[in-house]
Amino acid sequence: MKLHPTSMRGRAMSSTVLAILIFGIALGVASYILTTKVAISSLSDLMTSQVADTQAQILESGSKSTKLPELEAVEASRPVYMQVRSSQGDVLAETPGIAVNRNICLSPTPTDGVVSEISLDFGRGPQQFLATSSKVTIDGQPAKICAATSTATVHILQRNFIIFFLIGLPLVLIGVAFSVRAALNRALGSVEYLRKQAEGMSGTQDGELEVQHTRDEVERLGITLNDLLRRIHDQSQATQQFIADAGHELRNPLATLRVLLEFSEDSDQTLALGELERLDALVQDLLVLAKVDAHELAQSEYIDLEPLLKASVNAHQIRHPEITIDIESSSAIVLGDSRELRSVLDNLISNACRHAHSRVEVTLQASDQICEISVHDDGTGLAPEDCERVFERFVRLDEARNRDEGGSGLGLAIASAIATSMQGSITASPGPGGRFTVVLPLVQK
């Protein structure tokens, strides 16, 4: 199913706005609670401070009712009303603004220094006040200093906070939505631009996507896609070349077989069988390469290379009695498949015997972590520019093409592919003399 970028944009915006909304509500509730507590704490501190100051003034006056200080309501915006009452309930002193016969010492909390909330009527109807009290001694008798301040400022602060929150949060959400939309348009626009370019490309087209320099993940995505397109194109080209070369190589023995079977006499059956053997070998090589390309080579058994190498050398010595094959080897354990490893050894030694004048030297050396197989012949050898090209598929150099026993050009390619699949490598050195070296990792049983 094809997804349009708009759906991604909508989901991203919805998720972001929802997250901001939840965070904003949580932050608003926490801020509301904190602001209320700070405001109430500020009023409480103001009352407690005024009560303490009045208590200190009474002590300085000698605790005489005739010398009580004059009480005043402090801070016009947040007035603190105070009364000093005797134990009989007589008002000894009070701040202006308290209605006649109003008692602010009726706090339900008699404990000194404890702030509580009470309802008082100062002539404008009942209102909520914070109140506190403290005990003193006047004229040798117990008395009480009471203080109260209105919580109206706290309620105003709460109302203003709610209004600001209800107006500010939607504005923040709108701003976030526009910002997220702009960012998504920029990011998804670049993705859509890449998609449209890719949609217009054919499977084998040699081209690149035009990557916008956004300096973000989208730009890196475009660079990665271009690398992938190049690899796909190279693989496509290699596959086409492989098919063309395979078709060419198969056409020759098939044509020869057709001529032999249609026009030749019975005495030419040996030649026809030879062509069939060549065709069978070519098909087998193609199957091995197909397994290599599909990463289906087996690597599940421990193999000692020394007996495998000796068996391959003996077989080629019988096949090429005119060539002297010297071998020097030691035990080397690797992880792989015996048939595949034997194919590597046979291809290398067979190639050396085809190009040698009279002698081939084969060595197997093992160290702590790797083993090295070297096959050296006394032939002409390779030119420096051919040392890498010789491992390409269906590549046969001029000398091999001029010989009847020349192979199909797949042997060294198969050997290289198998060595690489075993985390090893194979290299060729320039002449004089041909020299091929295989390096494979050792394992311990």
Average pLDDT, stretch 113-139?
A: 79
- Grade residue 110 by pLDDT with cuts at 50, 70 and 90: very low
- Grade residue 436 by pLDDT with cuts at 50, 70 and 90: very high
Range of 84-98, 258-272, 411-425 with top mean pLDDT: 411-425
- Selected residue with higher pLDDT from 390 and 299: 390
- Selected residue with higher pLDDT from 333 and 257: 333
Query: Which pLDDT score, from 0 to 100, does residue 401 have?
Result: 42
pLDDT surpasses 50 at 146: yes
In the structure encoding, which two tokens stand for residue 407, read together? Answer: 């192979």
Query: Which pLDDT score, from 0 to 100, does residue 376 have?
Result: 94
Query: Which pLDDT score, from 0 to 100, does residue 400 have?
Result: 47
Lowest mean pLDDT among 107-111, 258-262, 385-389: 107-111
Domain 301-441: which topology?
Heat Shock Protein 90 (3.30.565)
Query: What CATH number labels 62-151?
Result: 3.30.450
- Residues of the chain with pLDDT > 90, as a percent, come to 13
3-state SS of the chain? CCCCHHHHHHHHHHHHHHHHHHHHHHHHHHHHHHHHHHHHHHHHHHHHHHHHHHHHHHHHCCCCHHHCCCCCCCCCCCCEEEEEEECCCCEEEECCCCCCCCCCCCCCCCCCCCCEEEEEECCCCEEEEEEEEEEEEECCEEEEEEEEEECHHHHHHHHHHHHHHHHHHHHHHHHHHHHHHHHHHHHHHHHHHHHHHHHCCCCCCCCCCCCCCCCCHHHHHHHHHHHHHHHHHHHHHHHHHHHHHHHHHHHHHHHHHHHHHHHCCHHHHHHHHHHHHHHHHHHHHHHHHHHHHCCCCCCCEEEEHHHHHHHHHHHHHHHCCCCEEEEECCCCEEEECHHHHHHHHHHHHHHHHHHCCCEEEEEEEECCCEEEEEEEECCCCECHHHCCHHHCCCCCCHHHHCCCCCCCCCHHHHHHHHHHHCCCEEEEEECCCCEEEEEEECCCC
Q: Which CATH architecture has domain 217-293?
A: Orthogonal Bundle (1.10)
Lowest mean pLDDT among 10-14, 322-326, 405-409, 434-438: 405-409
Read off the pLDDT of residues 349-405 as tens digits, 9 standing for 90 and up.
988 998 899 999 999 998 888 999 999 999 888 888 888 888 887 776 655 444 444
Read off the pLDDT of residues 394-433 as tens digits, 9 standing for 90 and up.
776 655 444 444 556 778 888 888 888 888 999 999 878 8
Lowest mean pLDDT among 6-15, 55-64, 272-281, 429-438: 272-281
Tell me how far apart the terminal alpha carbons of the chain are, to the nearest angstrom.
Answer: 51
pLDDT surpasses 60 at 268: no
Query: Which pLDDT score, from 0 to 100, does residue 234 have?
Result: 74
Domain boundary assignment for the chain: 62-151, 217-293, 301-441
Lowest mean pLDDT among 176-180, 194-198, 239-243, 427-431: 239-243
Mean of per-residue pLDDT scores for the chain: 78
Average pLDDT, stretch 199-221?
A: 69
- Selected residue with higher pLDDT from 425 and 199: 425
Query: Which pLDDT score, from 0 to 100, does residue 306 have?
Result: 92
Query: Which pLDDT score, from 0 to 100, does residue 9 have?
Result: 67
> Structure pTM?
0.45
Average pLDDT, stretch 314-336?
A: 91
- Selected residue with higher pLDDT from 263 and 59: 59
